[in-house]
Every structure is written in structure tokens, then in C-alpha cells.
Amino acid sequence: MLSKSIVRAVSVILSLAVFLAGCAPTKLPQGTGAVWHLVIISDSSLWGVGEAFAAQIEEDMGVTVVVEDYAMGGSSAGQILQALQTGKSPNAKLEKLPAVLKEAEVVVMFLNPNDSINPEQPLDLDGCFISMPPKSCNPESFEQWTTDLKAIWGEILRLRNGKETILRAVDLYNPLVSPWKENGVFESCIKCWENMSDAVRLAAEAYNIPFLSRLDAFNGFNHDEDPRLKGYIGPDGEHLSDLGAEYIAELLAQMVYEPVSPP
């Protein structure tokens, strides 16, 4: 017969194995019939990327991708955070977002900072959209936005509840290089965009989330190249063309499909 000490040791080992099995993340669906849900959470700067990235994932991974497109004009971090934390929003579609994210194998996000303003460190970059200098766009003015983005990533991981999830953060490309240069505001406005990019990256790094700089990809190393001339911007001079959306999808795919391992 086994001694009591051996029995206890075996019991402890079995209990630990059960505990660890319960803590192990649920793996991404694989194989024939596997379905991934891709959620795009963004303002209008990611219009068109959902379908393009879904097609890329299907080609690369051999799975079926269902797109949940929450790329909505003017969508801000403050609006999304409210919906995730309270389940309530003036936008009825956003009230469904928590349930959608529970099933999301892939999430790509960029949200504007309009509702993430600290009155003591005000942010005012609107001038750049009409080729005028920003009033306030230093790194400190983005701190509340970074905090809100971190909170959103944390809520997404909470909703996923241990399931493997591919999370990707992106910053904002600049379609206004030529008018900024023509009006003498390029230096001040591009510094603003670079500060904005850094804020997004910092929020992503808090959870080991891979970061794609659309500013680098579209505007070059020095951020002075005009993406309109490359065909990445549509007829309105601001939003993505089909080529631009496909390019972002390709760049996301090049980051491979590794789930996030939060610290």
C-alpha cells in the first residue's frame, strides 16, 4: 500500500494539474471549420481595413473570418471606455461591443483622443486639420488618452477571460503633408502626430500588444512623404483608398498571428 505521505503528494500534484489546466488560455480555433471573429475598433481612419484584413487572415490561416466592424466616424477612446465599463452608450451599437469582444479572436484598434482631455494638461490639435498650428499638443497633453487606451485594452482582456487573443494597436497616418508644407505648419503639426503615435505605443506596451505605426508606413522614416501621392488616400484627401486599406492589412499580416501574452 502507498504511504499516506505519497498519497498526499499525489493528491497535491493532481490538484495542481487541475488548477493549471483551468488557468491555461483557451487556444485559437484551428483546422477545418474554424471561425475567427475580427473586431475593428476605430474612428474613420480604419474604414475598409476590416474586410481587407479578414481576407488576408483567411488566406494565411485557412480559417473563416467574421468581421465585426466598429470603425465609426469620430469614435473616441472615451466613448468606447464608457461602453465597456458600463455597458451603456448613446450609440446603441456600442452597447453590444462587450458581448462582441468576448468572442473576438482578433482585435485591431485606434481611437481618437477627443474625450480624453485633462483640463490641467489640455490637448488641442484641431488646427492641424485645417493647416494651422496646434494650440497644445505636447506629450503631457496625451497622458489621459494613454490612460484611457490602457483601460480599454485591460477591459478587452478581461472580457476575453483567458482566451487566446490577437491584439494589434495602430497609430494615425498623416494625409496632410502637402498642405502642411504649403502653409508652413509641417514641423509643428508633424511633432503633434509623433507625440500622438508615442501615446498609442505606450498604451500598447503596457500589455505587450504589438504596435503598427501607420505614420511610419505611410509617411516614411522622416514622416515627410505624402501618402496621397502613393495612392493610399481616397478622393476625399483624408480617408483610406482601397489600396491603403489593403496595405494596412498586409502590414498587420506581416506581424504574424501570435496571441498577446500580457505581463
Average pLDDT, the chain: 91
For residue 73, count other CB atoms closer than 10 A to its CB: 10
Q: If pLDDT is split at 50, 70 and 90, which confidence band does 19 have?
A: very low
Is the pLDDT at 152 greater than 70? The verdict is: yes
Query: Do the Cβ atoms of 169 and 252 come closer than 8 Å?
Result: no
Closest among 153, 159, 156, 166 to 36, alpha carbons compared: 166
pLDDT at 20 over 70: no
Start-to-end Cα distance in the chain = 45
176/190 Cα distance (integer angstroms): 10
Dihedral over alpha carbons 193, 149, 201, 108 (to 10 degrees): -100
Using the predicted structure, report yes or no on whether residue 23 has a pLDDT greater than 60: no
- The answer on pLDDT for 129 being more than 60 is yes
pLDDT value, residue 25: 64
Backbone angles phi, psi at 3, to 5 degrees: -70, 160
Delineate the domains of the chain, giving CATH numbers in brackets: 35-254 (3.40.50.1110)
* Tens of pLDDT, residues 65-110: 999 999 999 999 999 999 999 999 999 999 999 999 999 999 999 9
Is 156 within 8 Å of 80 (Cβ atoms)? Answer: no
Q: What angle do CA 127, 110, 119 make, to 5 degrees?
A: 50
d(CA 256, CA 248): 13
On the question of pLDDT at 231 being above 50, the answer is yes
Contact 15, 23 (CB under 8 A): no
pLDDT given at position 213:
98
Section 221-225 average pLDDT: 97
